[in-house]
């Protein structure tokens, strides 16, 4: 059974835009680089050609990855009313004894971005928070036996 990728409609749209860019802009640019590099002669010692071929391989791999994610996407529906427990798609305000109050948005793995406080439902913190209600406390094993204690303060859309 193929892995499903949880994502918001916005996340799906971003992936579709990236895919279109890779196929319609990046791919032709790389093909042109390869064509130019071939004109330099001996391919066995042609660093421009090697670099362009590596870039092509990375681009093609990313295209395959995105197509797979879109094919197996599970769109997270907007939450109706006020959420009572932590699910993918909500914002959760927690109290961390070391860092104070933090607000995270729980998202699917394709949309995770710690710099934007978007954490994956598959991350240790995301997994620990799923299903919790306001007032619940969780202890999260973050690495090598190191733990953090979080208390759920608020859940919102």
The residue extents of the domains of the chain are 5-75, 91-156
Q: CATH top-level class for 91-156? A: alpha beta
Highest mean pLDDT among 47-51, 57-61, 100-104, 116-120: 57-61
Average pLDDT over residues 126-132: 94
CB atoms within 10 A of CB 32: 11
Give the Cα separation of 119 and 122 in Å (integer): 8
**Residue 101: DSSP 8-state:** E
Range of weakest confidence among 24-33, 79-88, 92-101? 79-88
The Cα 83–Cα 104 span in angstroms is: 15
What is the predicted pLDDT for the residue at 39? Answer: 83
Judge: domain 5-75, CATH 1.10.287.180: yes
Q: Which has the minimum average pLDDT: 30-39, 73-82, 133-142?
A: 73-82
pLDDT of residue 81: 67
Q: In this model, does residue 68 exceed pLDDT 90?
A: yes
Residue 78 has pLDDT above 80, yes or no: no
Residue pair 75/13 in contact (Cβ under 8 Å)? The answer is no
Of 104, 101, 100, nearest to 113 by C-alpha is 104
Where b means 16+ CB within 10 Å and e means fewer, 73-111 reads beebeeeeeebeebbbbbbbebeeeeeeeeebbbbbbbb
For all residues of the chain together, what is the average pLDDT? 90
Distances (CA, A) of 6 to 26, 76, 88, 106, 142: 26, 6, 8, 11, 22
- pLDDT tens digits, residue range 102-128? 999 999 888 999 899 999 999 999 999
Q: Report yes or no on whether pTM surpasses 0.75.
A: no
The residue-averaged pLDDT of 35-59 equals: 86
Whether 10 has a pLDDT exceeding 90, the answer reads no
Asked if residue 91 has pLDDT above 90, the reply is: yes
């Amino acid at each position: 059974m193929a892995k499903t990728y949880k994502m918001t409609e916005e996340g799906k749209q971003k992936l579709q835009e990236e895919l279109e860019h890779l196929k319609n802009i990046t791919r032709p640019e790389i093909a042109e680089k390869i064509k130019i590099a071939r004109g330099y002669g001996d391919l066995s010692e042609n660093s421009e050609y090697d670099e362009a071929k590596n870039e092509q391989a990375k681009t093609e791999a990313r295209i395959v990855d995105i197509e797979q994610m879109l094919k197996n996407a599970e769109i997270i529906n907007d939450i109706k009313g006020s959420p009572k427990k932590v699910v993918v798609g909500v914002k959760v305000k927690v109290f961390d004894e070391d860092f104070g109050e933090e607000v995270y948005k729980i998202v699917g793995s394709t949309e995770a971005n710690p710099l934007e406080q978007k954490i994956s439902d598959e991350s240790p913190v995301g997994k620990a928070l799923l299903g919790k209600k306001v007032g619940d406390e969780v202890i999260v094993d973050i690495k090598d036996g190191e733990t953090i204690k979080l208390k759920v303060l608020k859940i919102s859309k």
